[in-house]
Amino acid sequence: MTRKSPAELRSARWFGPADLRSFGHRSRAMQMGYAPEEWQGRPVIAILNTWSDLQPCHSHFKTRVEDVKRGILMAGGFPVELPALSVSESFVKPTTMLYRNMLAMETEELLRSHPVDGAVLMGGCDKTTPGLLLGATSMDIPAIYVPAGPMLRGNFGGKTLGSGSDAWKYWDELRAGTITQEDWLGVEAGIARSPGTCMTMGTASTMTAIAEAVGWVLPGGSSIPAPDAGHIRMCSESGRRAVEMVWEDLRPSRFQTRAAFLNAIVVAMAMGCSTNAIIHLIAMARRAGQEIGLDDFEAASRRVPVIGNVRPSGTAYLMEDFFYAGGIRALMDRIKEHLDLSCVTVNGRTLGENIAGARCFNDDVIRTVDNPIYGEGSLAVLKGNLAPDGCVIKPAAMDQRFLKHRGPAVVFDDYPSMKKAVEDESWDITPDHVMVLRNAGPLGGPGMPEWGMLPMPRALLKQGHRDMLRISDARMSGTSYGACVLHVAPESFVGGPLALLRDGDIVSLDVGARRIDIEVSAEELAARRAAWTPPERRYERGYGYMFSRHIQQANLGCDFDFLRSDFGAPVAEPAI
Ligand code: FES
Ligand code: MG
């Protein structure tokens, strides 16, 4: 392998020349107390840190960044920390999905505009993973991903609590009157008790596993719990490795092949992944210039069983258990016949080399393929006259009696009116009804909020029902569950068939046949379409204005159209 020379470093354009501009760069570096020996001829490694005081999942990044720096220094690099948008799933409203692409743009432009040769990307909370990776993909300089790691198991009264899932579960119990207010407060205090990302198989754990499967993370790195000392060691090793990647010129374009993305889909399926994975992975692949679509998920879903027994698809376990059982290396080892083991990863070795010798220490947490949690994949892609461009459902995490279902629609145009109805104990609704929420897609939400697990009507909860068929153009949290049809495309806001649905229309779902239809004639739908008027746009200025003019539909990954890899000519390196 040819190695870069110091004169070929990108940062040498800033620091090298004997001219007035470089004089400025050097004197300003010295203003910060750095002697020329500390940066001259050394790879400058940007650490994109998504820490913030309102990002509980990344609270340990404040000190972990020092561990990354230690690794970079050890390997002869020069670390520079660049703070980036932290997009906290817990606090950012109306939805973090509105800002994934903003972080992606920030990442790309931070790397482009500064004198950096490589990057360590620190993220983990849901959208931060795809945001950072999308931007680094477009910039295509050597980069490695450091996942925040899952938090420890939650605890209340000696019982394990899972992020998200148990919040919804105990909330329904509180509403049904089976637990007390005091219990509820105990759950509130115990459900998140350490730094780190949600420890169920939500979007965070799904996306960091995907990042590792694509090749962005050191072997096993995505499974290490945030507070574990192993996580600290992974941080410094990632720093060391980033420096070497610069000399080797190991860029994302060298490992983000179509085969690597197909590997990620297989891993996502075996983990029982969050439905959000579909949107982000499609966006990542398209940025990398690889054609990956809903059909690839559907194909993998038919082949790959769910073997990661982690809630909500699994029954009892959480990410901490998954780590102790051997983590993602053990899982990948079990499904290796579905993987392309020749794919290269950030450590310069192949996926096959990285999982060699992996051991599983608990066959209930990481099942064998002969004893899966769910025989067929965890996600199903549905099409039909209600969703011509597709939609998804998570059969692994729903009441199986809704897999084939027909029922009358009850349609809501906005979240508040739906919320009012579900809280009404005297609402005349049956478990056979199909609850529909529209105007919750990429443009309608706006930002496609995680409203897709429409709350169960109180009237049905009181009767002991815990699931019903629900449909929307929204997303749902990876920690959610239920018979929820999501990501209906095209969305209603742009006139997708969901916009034409009326109360009482019969909706039919057949997951086995991968169909979702409304029993309304084409003539009647055409007549309704002719009478349909598009809703008013949401934003007249600012970021939302740009978002609403350029966001693509869910089946295309919700990227901005102008960020596609084939949009326009490549951006030139900045003039200095
Ligand atoms: Fe950050 Fe779930 S809220 S990962
Ligand atoms: Mg989430």
- Pocket flag, ligand 1, residue 551 (CB < 6 Å): no
Indicate which ligand has the atom closest to the C-alpha of 125. 1
Asked if the model's pLDDT at residue 203 lies above 90, the reply is yes
Asked if the model's pLDDT at residue 377 lies above 70, the reply is no
Pocket test for ligand 1, best of 55, 85, 90, 165 (most atoms within 8 A of CB): 90
Asked if the model's pLDDT at residue 176 lies above 80, the reply is yes
Contact present, 122 and 234 (Cβ < 8 Å): no
* C-alpha–C-alpha distance, residues 382 and 275, integer Å: 13
**CA 346 to mean position of chain CA atoms:** 20
Q: Prior bond to 312 cis, omega within 30?
A: yes
Q: Find all residues with CB under 8 Å of 224, minimum gap 6, and list them.
A: 149, 230, 231, 234, 323, 327
Distances (CA, A) of 476 to 203, 385, 441, 458, 484: 10, 22, 11, 20, 8
Pocket test for ligand 1, best of 92, 193, 198 (most atoms within 8 A of CB): 198
- Tell me, what's the pLDDT at 274? 87
Asked if the model's pLDDT at residue 233 lies above 90, the reply is yes
- Tell me, what's the pLDDT at 397? 81
* C-alpha–C-alpha distance, residues 544 and 102, integer Å: 11
Q: What are the tens digits of pLDDT across the range 32-46?
A: 999 999 999 999 999
Work out the average pLDDT over 425-440.
96
Give the DSSP H/E element, type plus range, for residue 406: strand 404-412
How confident is the prediction for the chain on average, in pLDDT? 95
- Tell me, what's the pLDDT at 81? 98
Helix, strand, coil abundance in the chain, percent, nearest 5: 40, 15, 45
Distance 560 CA to ligand 1 centre (A): 24
Output the residue whose Cα is nearest ligand 1's atom 2: 198
Distance 562 CA to ligand 1 centre (A): 29
The complex's ipTM works out to 0.92
Indicate which ligand has the atom closest to the C-alpha of 162. 1
* C-alpha–C-alpha distance, residues 76 and 38, integer Å: 9
Distance 200 CA to ligand 1 centre (A): 10
- Tell me, what's the pLDDT at 477? 84
Work out the average pLDDT over 404-419.
97
- Going by pLDDT thresholds of 50, 70 and 90, the confidence category of residue 116 is very high
Which token pair is 396?
């692994």
* C-alpha–C-alpha distance, residues 453 and 446, integer Å: 17
- Tell me, what's the pLDDT at 538? 85
Contact present, 154 and 193 (Cβ < 8 Å): yes
For the chain, how many residues are written? 576
Contact present, 346 and 215 (Cβ < 8 Å): yes
Which token pair is 549?
């003019």
User: What are residue 28's phi and psi, to 5 degrees?
Assistant: -75, -30
Q: Find all residues with CB under 8 Å of 515, minimum gap 6, and list them.
A: 382, 383, 384, 508, 509
* C-alpha–C-alpha distance, residues 347 and 234, integer Å: 12
* C-alpha–C-alpha distance, residues 148 and 152, integer Å: 12
* C-alpha–C-alpha distance, residues 443 and 329, integer Å: 38
**Closest-lying ligand 1 atom to the alpha carbon of residue 204:** 4
* C-alpha–C-alpha distance, residues 574 and 80, integer Å: 19
Task: Please name which of 213, 219, 212 lies closest in space to residue 354, comparing C-alpha atoms.
Answer: 219
Can you list the alpha helix ranges (DSSP code H) found in 482-554? Answer: 522-531, 542-550
Pocket test for ligand 1, best of 60, 95, 126, 191 (most atoms within 8 A of CB): 126
Q: What type of residue is 17?
A: P
- Pocket flag, ligand 1, residue 204 (CB < 6 Å): yes
Work out the average pLDDT over 297-309.
94
- Pocket flag, ligand 1, residue 368 (CB < 6 Å): no
Q: What are the tens digits of pLDDT across the range 468-516?
A: 999 999 999 877 789 999 999 999 999 999 999 999 999 999 999 999 9
Task: Please name which of 234, 393, 377 lies closest in space to residue 308, comparing C-alpha atoms.
Answer: 377
Give the DSSP H/E element, type plus range, for residue 113: helix 97-113
Q: What is the DSSP letter of 387?
A: E
- Going by pLDDT thresholds of 50, 70 and 90, the confidence category of residue 87 is very high
- Pocket flag, ligand 1, residue 450 (CB < 6 Å): no
- Pocket flag, ligand 1, residue 91 (CB < 6 Å): no
Q: Is 477 helix (H, G, I), strand (E, B) or coil?
A: coil
Q: Whole-model pTM? A: 0.95
- Tell me, what's the pLDDT at 1? 67
- Pocket flag, ligand 1, residue 125 (CB < 6 Å): yes
Residues linked to residue 407 through DSSP beta bridges, in sequence order: 507
Work out the average pLDDT over 67-71.
98
Q: What are the tens digits of pLDDT across the range 135-148?
A: 999 999 999 999 99
- Pocket flag, ligand 1, residue 57 (CB < 6 Å): yes
